[in-house]
A and B are shown apart, each in its own frame.
Chain A
Amino acid sequence: MTDAQKTGKYVGQRVTRNEDPRLLTGQALFVDDVDLPDMLHAAFLRSDYAHARVRSIDVSAARTRPGVVAVYTAEDMGDFWRPGPLIVPPPSKVEGIVFHARTQIPMVKDKARHIGDPLAVVIAESRYIAEDALEDIIVDYEPLEAVVDLEKALEPDAPLVYDDLDSNLAAHVIQEKGNYEAAREQADVVIKRRIVIDRGAAAALENRGVVAAWDAKSQQLTVWDTTQAPIPIRNGIAAMLGLSEHQVRVIAPFIGGGFGPKIMMDQPEEVLVPWAAVKLNRPVKWIEDRRENFIGTTQERGQIHDAEIAVTRDGRILGLRDVFLHDTGAYDPYGLTVPLNTQSHALSAYDVPNYYTEFRVVFTNKMIVTPVRGAGRPQGIFVMERMLDLAAKELGMDRTEIRRRNYIPPDAFPYRHVVIDQAFAELIFDSGDYEPALDKAMTMIGYHHFLKEEQPRLRAEGRHVGLGIVSFVETTGVGPYEGARVTVESSGKVSVVTGVGTQGQGHFTSFAQVVADQLGVDVRDVRVVTGDTAQFHWGTGTFASRGAVVAGNAVNCAASNVRTKVLKLASKVLNAPEEELELADGQVRVADIPEQAISLGELAVLANPLRGAVEPGTEPGLESTDYFGPKTCATAFGVVAMVVEVDPETMLVEIQRLVIAHDCGTVLNPMIVDGQIHGGLSLGIGNSFYEQLVYDENGQLLNASFMDYLLPRSTDMPPLIEIGHLETPSPLNPMGSKGVGEAGALPVPAAFAQAVEDALADYGIEILETPLSPNRLFEIVQAARGADE
């Protein structure tokens, strides 16, 4: 924490959100609110087949439907048709890496590779007409056998997603720390299991949407886009259309949830809508509907692990071996971010001296996999936590004790994990203090009391109650950098602009708190603008739990620079040395003589004179633009504990209590952090028991609606989420902050599996998969019973 924050009024406080009055009174702009004169509407024809050669597409009837302005296929795009960017290339530091880049294409030319792959776009006077015209299009498909099963996909006779590749292998990576095989020889107990993790959707409240308007007279293109990465999108659209980056303005207004898929760049719709708007010289709008979201928006999870853990009799981990398959779907534009995160998070919070990790990324005829809140981390956590549970059981050891014995000790930081992670650098944990969080969670849940008294009493009543308690780490705040510009305006109010977009994270408040403390102004007088490339055009975006860490620190740096300028100028104006000045109540004043003061507004006017001569080498105004780029990730940590009750008749699971002891370094706003944790936990609950995308053997998605794809409802959430905050500041940034956006989602499936196993202890089941469901749980119980008989 910086000095200004230590003495400030806002950082660390539960400041209510600056943006909420607008959101709650309907004054916030979302993409679908953009309504322009002469606007046209787009609808996409998407493949009904997961894998099919497209022989021809006849759009002639659609073109003649009244109200249809244009119909385009890949053929009509000419030279504008080109595969999208490889958003994240594979890390060059990993030796022997195999990676076949196959990025997303605007529209299908030869083969449809997943249901939902776009084939054509209709632009019409209304969305109704556009959708009706989709039915006029005749596609001549040659259906091909679909690649669905991850293991069968790699068999020699499997059909190929890409005919030019020898197999469906998209990537192969091996990383090692120490020597697992040697460690295994020393082990008292070796446990090996297969663990399966299935897919879910991001299911943001707001689907994707794009509106593009070309102004021929000013030669300016404006694009409103539900993107998490407005600046890279602007650059991509400009490059694609052959425009200067300054001719394209991308606005990411208020967005109803990002959760990862909206970080995707140059998606078909994002490219085609601006292209059509320029070509037709009329605004074009496309708003994704919910079914399109299921088949047209990227998804995640989907891995099969063969894991092995080697431990000593006293519970020390000697090594972990994890070999897994990762489903990337039909394309791999996001490189290896997700499986690399799995690799690094399988080590979790533990001092694992020997590690062998190997993954194969597999092309399948399913929707593309890119990060969804958690981004590979929950899979790694699930594997390690399940293996520790099995080891503890085998050793007859308390499950919290085995974790405690293996935590990286507080004096071992920075701790080197040796493997290369998604940030393309060695995985190094910057800081942490894990045992206090475990103790806190145990106290909050009443661990010993539950096991010794409550559980035996309830079991005697015939009730199936169980407890789950697991740890997690989260690498947060990856680089490369973000920037911000802070300006004191002549009104005395402060304007902050940054390049990241906002999808509900509370940036308008957290960033304002940082600035308000630096400049001594009211937090309501700080106006934050995010996601508008006309206002700030350097940066990458909002993802990987990095907003508060990377953009937050950039805002802090810029505000700190402005503070320096303020003090320098005020010192002259007030005739007092800088160190005697203080910034408070929108003024600069001499600390001991409060009446000797000048308001920030007046100072801003003096800093930007209309006449006279300015000193050479000075900048006008009380303004600064600055950037922040962390060297490595700031590592957050936490422990989640829950109590569940299982109804053995219906196999419904009720989460009765849920507690989390969480450490994300310096907390800027505990209320916002709580909100992030609540959201993450609810996704974690979904990933545990509700949310599962079911593909059949032909690659058809069988539950592409909220009737069939279950999100946890408010009634599926525990009555209360108890949160305990701990603060181990990160040494990697001046504010000491760590990210929290994904935290809640990571540990829940592991905690849920442990708790359900505990609740059904008399059935002797082992849970080696997620998500579960009542019927799946029933099958597992039946299988265990069958095995006993």
Chain B
Amino acid sequence: MRGTLLRYRVMATIVGVLLIVLILVGVPLANFDGSSMWGFIPSTPGWVTPDSGAQQLGEGITHYLGVAHGWLYMIFLVTAFLLARKALWEPGFTVVVLLCGTIPVLSFWAEHKATTRVRQEYADELAPGATSQPSA
């Protein structure tokens, strides 16, 4: 349980931080130049100058981090699902934890919720000195 929880927490933190960089830094820098965005958002605030260094940075972030984040998110989902199976979460809680990983900032709250729950319900397994896991 300890390893499963650790793997989940590491991935949740990585994905959560990258999500903030991607959505709250990269996307505004790349797109908020006063023009329309992604073909369906009619206008954006004119915060950055087109083709400026800041916008180039934003393009770089969305370009490379976007793809990388997608794959890291897959790994996160797998670690989260493994934890959900091991901790015998009901489907509702599992889905909420999986979905919240996609929402910037909220992902940290979900990680906190999940960790707290596991620590409460499996305190004996996670206690220092507990070596083998009791069979379920």
Q: Do A and B bind each other?
A: no
Residues of B in contact with A (beta carbons under 8 Å apart): none
Residues of A in contact with B (beta carbons under 8 Å apart): none
